[in-house]
Copies of this chain bind each other. A is one copy, B any other.
């Protein structure tokens, strides 16, 4: 087929294109909107073509999650690496992660993508979240091992997760002042003596 030939400069791997399409659909039309047909159409592939790459819907969602978990892990590691070394490094990274990338209010791309994909996975089969669990467990372990007192570390961990959840479900919104106050409080927890 011609269309396959005159694709843009970086030849987008078909698998990747399907995964991207599936994510876009879940974000735009919700979990219901994700069907094999719609994903194939969005990716510019036939349904049969999609099924060639992902043998079932479950495999498709699993693929989305594996990729997302890898992205999250990498992103977090990068954030840690960018923090000065020393006690509380991971905790500071966590705060920077939660407050930094979330700048664009309702359109923060990685955040919404994460939420959408996780929700889709959880809906289909909670066990599909396992790769994500592995990542979060590792993050927690790192956080508890970097010298910050456990209480403070856990407060930071759960607080940023709560911030995330509130955003995903739109449970309540924070003003800039509130976000700043929260951030200051979390950072103050880092200063506490061990």
Q: Closest residue to A127 on the B side, CB-wise?
A: B170
Taking the closest CB of chain B, its distance from the CB of A173, in whole angstroms, is 8
A31 at the interface (CB under 8 A from B): yes
Q: What string of 1s and 0s marks CB contacts (under 8 Å) between A142-180 and chain B?
A: 000000011110110111111111100111101001100
Q: How far is the CA of A184 from the CA of B154 in the complex (A)?
A: 11
Interface contact B162-A123, CB-CB below 8 Å: no
B136 A172 Cβ-Cβ under 8 A? yes
Whole-angstrom CA separation of A119 from B30 in the bound complex: 12
The chain B residue with its CB closest to the CB of A174 is B154
Contacts of A161 in B (CB 8 A): 158, 161-162, 165-166, 171
Q: Does A186 contact B (CB under 8 A)?
A: yes
Q: Judge if A129 is at the interface, Cβ distance under 8 Å.
A: yes
Q: How far is the CA of A123 from the CA of B32 in the complex (A)?
A: 7
Chain A residues in contact with chain B, CB under 8 A? Answer: 30-32, 118-119, 122-126, 129, 132-133, 136-137, 140, 149-152, 154-155, 157-166, 169-172, 174, 177-178, 181-186, 188-189
25 intermolecular pairs with C-beta atoms under 8 Å apart = A30-B125, A32-B123, A32-B124, A119-B122, A126-B169, A129-B170, A133-B170, A136-B172, A140-B172, A149-B185, A150-B181, A150-B182, A151-B184, A151-B185, A154-B178, A154-B185, A155-B182, A158-B163, A160-B162, A161-B165, A161-B166, A162-B162, A162-B164, A164-B165, A185-B189
